[in-house]
Amino acid sequence: MPPRKRGRKDEGAATAAPPEVGRDHISALPDDALQHILSSLPAQDAVRTCALARRWRHLWKFTKDLHMTTPDSIEEIREFVDHLLLLRAGLPIDTFELGAGDGLSEDDIPLVNLWIRHAVAYKVQVLQLEIFGRWTWLKLKNLHLVFASQHLTRLEFANIRFNDSFFNFSSCLALQDLRIRMCELMHAKRISSYIHAPNLASLWLDEAFERAAVLERMPSLVEAVVTIHVFCSNSCSRTTSGSCDDLDCQGCHDIEEDDTCVLLQGLSIAKNLALVALSNTFIFRRDLKWCPTFSNLRTSLLNEYWCVPADFSALECILEHSPVLEKLTLQLFCKGPKSKVEIKGIPDPIERSAAISEHLRIVEVKCEVVDETVLNVLKFLNKFNINKLRLHYSHSLYFCNLL
């Protein structure tokens, strides 16, 4: 190979200038961009940037997303939040997130309620409250006054004690998303509290304590996930119907709204619906006495609760009252969307049962093992000519006849 000529550049060599060393590229961004970046940080970290340089001294005040969380108690951030809201001088808020991993004291409750009112007064759009821990519950009351807003689009509550009998969000015309997890209704004035949100599109109701809330009709509802846990008192160890012979049973005989469809009527407009409950709770089966029609339901996820008792009457009612259902998923004795076994059945196009939706394309059965319970579910589906089964096990696919 001949020697290279001195000064000749290699073909294809990079011609770009080397990057500048030591230049502060972040500070070169405009204020709006920097405020957007700060909005994604915990509020404590955003405020600390005031020590970086003169230009950063007041940038944090204009962030519209306030994430104020601590793994400890509210007491640890009480003084910080007070000063933060005071120094912002009433600037608008888009997101207000307040979380504590170790609860709050009774003395903190009025202060937290004041912070919430402050956020709503300054046009908050997303409000998230997650107060966990062992001390006491965050108590909220007069919800229709506290959350009266034309700007709120999303509300999230976790470990909150509600004192109102009526969750009236009718004045929140922009509210699209409501999420309630692990909350308590014990101190509501009525045994069955009402949730009224006429323009709601998305509902996540994960009820862990006391009674299921009565859902009023939600004409804009698109999707909902409702989970009833063992701690819910709408349960009975003697019966699955909610009508045992023990008059002292609070689960069966302490329901004021005996003529009310508690959950299903309010959910009947939804297009996508997941309903999960433990076998000893009866509130869904009790609701089926009214046989609501799920006129818009396209996709549905149900757990093993709907396959008990052995006549599958609850599951049959859902199938027969979902005229436009396209996909049904049965998640049997497994947690989450992943499972070891997945069985897919397709309705017979020629001998399709007239009792179910003509739009139904697929039924998925997810489980950990194919046992007698699963086989009984498949036999029930076969009554509606839902067959042509495909068995997915781990990462393998089998075509088989399990019946």
Residue 259 · residue 232 · CB < 8 Å: no
Residue 324: CB partners within 8 Å, gap ≥ 6?
A: 295, 296, 297, 298, 357, 359
Q: What is the pTM of this model?
A: 0.84
pLDDT level of residue 295 (50, 70, 90 thresholds): very high
Tell me the β-bridge partners of 365: 330, 343
The runs of H, that is alpha helices, within 198-268 are: 250-253, 264-267
Cα distance between the two ends of the chain:
76
Torsion of CA 155, 160, 166, 169, to 10 degrees: -10
Q: What is the mean pLDDT of residues 108-115?
A: 92
- Say how far apart CA 305 and CA 301 lie, in whole Å: 11
Q: What is the mean pLDDT of residues 191-203?
A: 83
Q: What is the mean pLDDT of residues 38-50?
A: 94
Which DSSP string do the residues of 264-313 spell out, in sequence order? HHHHTT-SEEEEEE-TTB-HHHHHGGG----TT--EEEEEGGGG-STT-H
Reply yes or no on whether the pLDDT at 351 is more than 60.
Answer: yes
**Residue showing tokens 């029609």:** 293
Torsion of CA 144, 146, 152, 157, to 10 degrees: -90
Please name the amino acid found at residue 176: Q
Closest CA to 326 of 288, 298, 365: 298
Q: What is the mean pLDDT of residues 156-185?
A: 85
Residue 183 · residue 157 · CB < 8 Å: yes
Determine the pLDDT at residue 229. Answer: 77
- Percent of the chain at pLDDT > 70 equals 80
CB atoms within 10 A of CB 202: 18
Determine the pLDDT at residue 251. Answer: 53
Reply yes or no on whether the pLDDT at 21 is more than 60.
Answer: no
Q: Are strands 341-347 and 362-367 parallel, antiparallel or unpaired?
A: antiparallel
Sheet holding 166-168, edge to edge: 166-168, 194-196, 214-215
Reply yes or no on whether the pLDDT at 129 is more than 60.
Answer: yes
Domain range list for the chain: 30-136
- Say how far apart CA 301 and CA 272 lie, in whole Å: 8
Burial 154-170 (b: 16+ CB within 10 A, else e): bbbbbbbbbbbbbbbbe
What are residue 67's phi and psi, to 5 degrees?
-110, 100
Reply yes or no on whether the pLDDT at 71 is more than 80.
Answer: yes
* CA dist 338 → 35, 333, 347, 353 (Å): 39, 11, 24, 30
Tell me the β-bridge partners of 203: 178, 224
